[in-house]
Each structure stands twice: as C-alpha cells, then as structure tokens.
C-alpha cells in the first residue's frame, strides 16, 4: 500500500523539540498556547499542501480530473487561498461558503454549488457571481433555478445529483448514497428530470451526473461501484434522449486515521481503483473519457489540523473513571457527541515521567455527553498542561457553536517556524453584537 498523508494521525511536521515539547510547523505548541490562548485550532500549511500534491499526483494518469475541495470541512479565506494556489476548485453548500471563496479572489468558474435545499437568494447569488456548476438536487430546485436564470437571460450549467443506491459502512448520519436519503434524484426520477431540462427548462444546460456515497470511507471498492452506475446512466441517457453528457462527479469521502484502529486507504490506492474502473467503463461502452470531478474535504484538511486545550480540573470517581477536564469540548468539537467520533491526543509540554494512567478527557460544557476522548492513556496530568488533539482540521471549527455562550476559538496557520492568525478568537462583545433589546423592554 502506498503511503500518503491521510494515513497519518499527526501533521507531517509534528515532532518533539529540544525542550521536550511538541512542535508543528517549527512552532512550539506550548508557546502557541501561551501566545494565542486556548482552545486553539492549529493548521499546518506544509501538511495541507502536501496532501493537495498527493491528490494531484495520484490522479495525474487521468488528466481530465478536476479537484474540488469540499468547503464544508473547513472554510475560511486563508485555507481557501492555499487550496486555490494548489490548483483546487471548490464544492460549496451555502451562500457563506460561496462568498468566502469569492472574497478570497478565486475564479468562480472553478466553484460548484451543492445542497438539498438551496434558497432563491443563494441560487440568485450563485448565478450573479458566475459559479461554474450548480448540482441540482430535486425537482423544486430545478424549476426555481430555471425561473431565476430566465429572469436574468442566462444559461446555467448544471449537474444532476443522483442517489446511486450504494450504502457504505460508516456512521448512518454520514451515509449519503443509499436509497433512503434526503439527497438527490432517485434513479427512477432521472428521466423525468432530463426530459424537463431538454423540453421545458430552456435556461438550464445539463453536463453530467453527480453522486456521493458517504464520508470517512475506508473501502475503495465502493467508488468502483459508483463509477459503474454513473457511466451506465450516462450511456442509457444518450441512448434514450440523444444527450451527450461528459462530466461525472463522484464526490469525496475518503477516510482518515483518527485512532490506531483506523486503516484508511491511501489517496494513491483510491486513485488506482477509480482510474482503473473508469478506463474499463470507457472501453466497454466506447465513450469519450468524461471529465472526472472529485470533492475531497476531510482527507485534505483533517490531518493538517490539531486543537490545543489547557488542562483544568480532575475528578476521580471512586472505583471508576478519572475525568480530566479541558477548557473546550463539544462547542468547538461536537463530533464525539454527535457521531461517537474517536480521537487521539498527547500532552504537548514536557513530561519526564514514564508512568501513565487511563483518563477520560471531559469538556467544560454543561452536558453529561460532553466527552472528547474516552480511556486515553497519558502521563499523570496537572492543571495547566497543554493537550494536543490530532486530526481536528475537518468538521471542528466548521461545526463549532456558542453553546453556553462561550466564544469560538482562534485559528492559526503554522509554517517554517512562523505562526499567523487566520481566524480571530471571538470576544464577549462579539457574542452580544447581534442581540437586540426591543424598545418596549427598555
């Protein structure tokens, strides 16, 4: 199996320095915690760029591949700028993600707008900003999109998102390709949608089909099944309607290594399966090679990120667990409470003892379920120690909340011994800045 960055629990630049502290990107994590306070999201630029290059190299044998970073994993202007520099387009699912990409200065023709309930205002904005593709999810959206495009006298380029009927072995909340899903047209509805586009919706141009099969995927064979379904549909639609579709979007979903027991396939292994199957289908049906869109998100950004916390109180349950609390938790990382997600962590500051104990890392929020990591083996902890939780680049900041009215953490980018603030820590004034007391209550 070829090694690639998504198979590592830690950023590529993570090491122990001469002071005995962990460092990433040449920056001492203890120093970062002191300078920026905690909780703190840290993104390693070297790892992020290396993963982007892995994807490009892995798929270079199929030159008609277009990489589209799934912005939902982590969206901010600095990360967007790096991905744009590395030649990626962007899969967006909201006006906020579209606007972030736009404000970063990205060529909007490289952007795709996805989602199951896009609003009038969002579609209107996407058309005005020149988003390259809109992935249409349902009949309501198809009709709405044509009305908006017609009012602007524009032709909108679209893909049809379909539900391929494939079920991957992942958490039920992150399965998107099985038949009973809120996403996409059922296979039995495709013909009606295509007929509407060809004969009624004159301001919509269909280029291809789009599907997702889930997230945190370890078994690459599922991508082979997906490609077979998509190509067969393209061939069938050509035979029935005489329409030449030349794009397929297979989504993303490649898994990463959160804990030792996780065994994700490498980007290179996934690419071999995908390209081999696509070449097979092209030869079998004698079709022109379609443009292949990929939408990696988690596997791009997750290994590049860590979160730093400061150790606070401890509680030893008699004849039970030892709880160690940190200054963050489910508001800055809701995944353990939502998905029962697992993480690996280490103490970032010097710990000379080899004596270890099993502890449960508890969050600071007022929920019994606010537990970040269960039964983690660490050196004996003291108040003020810095905990580094790995693989938190994806779906941590992007899913963060102000639960318990706690400000969201800051985020820094590290590289070559330099740290740069890329998301400011929210202040208490930020928390109340949108609150309004009606005059009648004054």
pLDDT-derived band at 100, boundaries 50, 70, 90 = very high
Q: Which of 267, 296, 325 is the last residue of a domain?
A: 296
Q: Report pLDDT for 164.
A: 87
Q: Which of 262, 296, 330 is the last residue of a domain?
A: 296
Structural tokens at position 331: 């508001």
Angle ∠(358,363,368) on CA atoms, nearest 5? 95
Statement to judge: residues 291 and 326 lie in one domain: no
Statement to judge: residues 289 and 310 lie in one domain: no
Statement to judge: residues 232 and 274 lie in one domain: yes
What span, in angstroms and rounded, lies between the C-alpha atoms of 282 and 234?
11
Let me know if residue 359 belongs to a domain: yes
pLDDT tens per residue, range 285-327: 999 999 999 999 999 999 999 999 999 999 999 988 999 999 9
Let me know if residue 48 belongs to a domain: no
Let me know if residue 437 belongs to a domain: no
The three-state (H, E, C) secondary structure of 186-239, written as one string: EHHHHHHHHHHHHHCCCCEEEEEEECCCCCCECCCHHHHHHHHHHHHHHHHHHH
Statement to judge: residues 260 and 394 lie in one domain: no
What span, in angstroms and rounded, lies between the C-alpha atoms of 153 and 1?
52
Torsion 122-124-125-129 (CA) sign: positive
| pLDDT above 70 as % of the chain | 95
Statement to judge: residues 235 and 139 lie in one domain: yes
Statement to judge: residues 364 and 395 lie in one domain: yes
Rounded (10°) CA dihedral 193, 199, 202, 207 = 50
Statement to judge: residues 187 and 124 lie in one domain: yes
pLDDT-derived band at 190, boundaries 50, 70, 90 = very high
Q: Report pLDDT for 179.
A: 52
Distance of CA 72 to the CA centre of its chain: 5
pLDDT at 4 > cutoff 70 = no
Q: Residue 361: which CATH number?
A: 2.40.37.10
pLDDT at 68 > cutoff 50 = yes
Let me know if residue 251 belongs to a domain: yes
pLDDT tens per residue, range 18-51: 999 999 999 999 999 999 999 999 999 999 999 9
pLDDT at 244 > cutoff 50 = yes
Q: Report pLDDT for 171.
A: 36
Average pLDDT of the chain, as a whole number: 94
Map residue 242 onto helix, strand or coil: coil
Statement to judge: residues 328 and 252 lie in one domain: no
Rounded (10°) CA dihedral 385, 426, 96, 258 = 10
Domain range for 33 is 5-43+304-432
pLDDT-derived band at 175, boundaries 50, 70, 90 = very low
pLDDT tens per residue, range 210-231: 999 888 999 899 999 999 999 9
Q: Report pLDDT for 109.
A: 98
What span, in angstroms and rounded, lies between the C-alpha atoms of 344 and 336?
12
| Residue 378, C-beta contacts closer than 8 angstroms, at least 6 positions apart | 324, 345, 346, 347, 356, 357, 359
Let me know if residue 390 belongs to a domain: yes
Statement to judge: residues 332 and 205 lie in one domain: no
* Neighbouring-strand partners of residue 361: 324, 373
Let me know if residue 154 belongs to a domain: yes
Let me know if residue 442 belongs to a domain: no
> Per-residue pLDDT averaged across 193-211, rounded?
97
Q: Which of 261, 296, 331 is the last residue of a domain?
A: 296
Statement to judge: residues 259 and 179 lie in one domain: yes
Q: Report pLDDT for 165.
A: 76
pTM summary value: 0.94
The active-site residue out of 168, 263, 366, 388 is 366
pLDDT at 352 > cutoff 90 = no
Q: Does the active-site annotation cover 366?
A: yes
Domain count, the chain: 2
pLDDT tens per residue, range 358-392: 999 999 999 999 999 999 999 999 999 999 999 99
Let me know if residue 73 belongs to a domain: no
Q: Residue 228: which CATH number?
A: 3.20.20.10
Contact 92, 99 (CB under 8 A): no
pLDDT at 178 > cutoff 70 = no
Lowest mean pLDDT among 84-93, 153-162, 174-183, 257-266: 174-183
């Amino acid at each position: 199996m070829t090694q690639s960055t998504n198979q590592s629990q830690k950023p590529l630049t993570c090491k122990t320095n001469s002071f005995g502290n962990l460092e990433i990107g040449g920056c001492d994590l203890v120093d970062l915690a002191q300078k920026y306070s905690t909780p703190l999201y840290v993104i390693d630029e070297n790892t992020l760029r290396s993963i982007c290059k892995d994807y490009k190299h892995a798929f270079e044998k199929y030159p008609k591949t277009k990489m589209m970073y799934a912005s939902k994993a982590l969206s901010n202007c600095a990360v967007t700028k790096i991905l744009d520099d590395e030649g990626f387009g962007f899969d967006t699912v909201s006006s906020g993600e579209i606007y972030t990409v736009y404000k970063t200065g990205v060529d909007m023709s490289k952007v795709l707008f996805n989602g199951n309930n896009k609003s009038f205002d969002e579609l209107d904005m996407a058309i005005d900003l020149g988003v390259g593709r809109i992935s249409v999810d349902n009949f309501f959206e198809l009709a709405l999109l044509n009305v908006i495009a017609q009012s602007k006298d524009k032709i909108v380029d679209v893909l049809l998102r379909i539900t391929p009927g494939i079920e991957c072995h992942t958490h039920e909340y992150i399965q998107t390709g099985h038949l009973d899903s809120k996403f996409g047209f059922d296979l039995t509805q495709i013909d009606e949608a295509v007929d509407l586009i060809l004969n009624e919706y004159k301001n919509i141009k269909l280029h291809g089909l789009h599907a997702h099969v889930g997230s945190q995927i370890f078994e690459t064979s599922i991508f082979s099944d997906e490609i077979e379904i998509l190509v067969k549909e393209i061939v069938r639609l050509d035979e029935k309607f005489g329409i030449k579709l030349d794009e397929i979007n297979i989504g993303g979903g490649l898994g990463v290594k959160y804990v030792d027991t996780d065994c994700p396939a490498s980007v290179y292994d996934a690419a071999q399966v995908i390209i081999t199957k696509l070449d097979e289908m092209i030869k079998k049906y004698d079709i022109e090679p379609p443009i292949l869109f990929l939408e990696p998100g988690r596997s791009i950004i997750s290994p590049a990120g860590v979160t730093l916390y400061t150790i606070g109180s401890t509680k030893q349950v008699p004849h039970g667990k030892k709880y160690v609390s940190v200054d963050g938790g489910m508001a800055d990382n809701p995944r353990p409470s939502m998905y029962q997600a697992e993480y690996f962590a280490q103490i970032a500051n010097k710990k000379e003892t080899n004596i270890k104990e099993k502890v449960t890392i508890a969050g600071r929020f007022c929920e019994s379920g606010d537990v970040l990591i269960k039964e983690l083996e660490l050196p004996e902890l003291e108040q003020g120690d810095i905990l580094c939780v790995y693989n938190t680049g994806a779906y941590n900041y992007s899913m963060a909340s102000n639960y318990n009215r706690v400000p969201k953490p800051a985020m820094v980018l590290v590289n070559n011994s330099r740290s740069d603030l890329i998301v400011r820590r929210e202040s208490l004034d930020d928390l109340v800045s949108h609150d309004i007391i009606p005059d009648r209550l004054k």
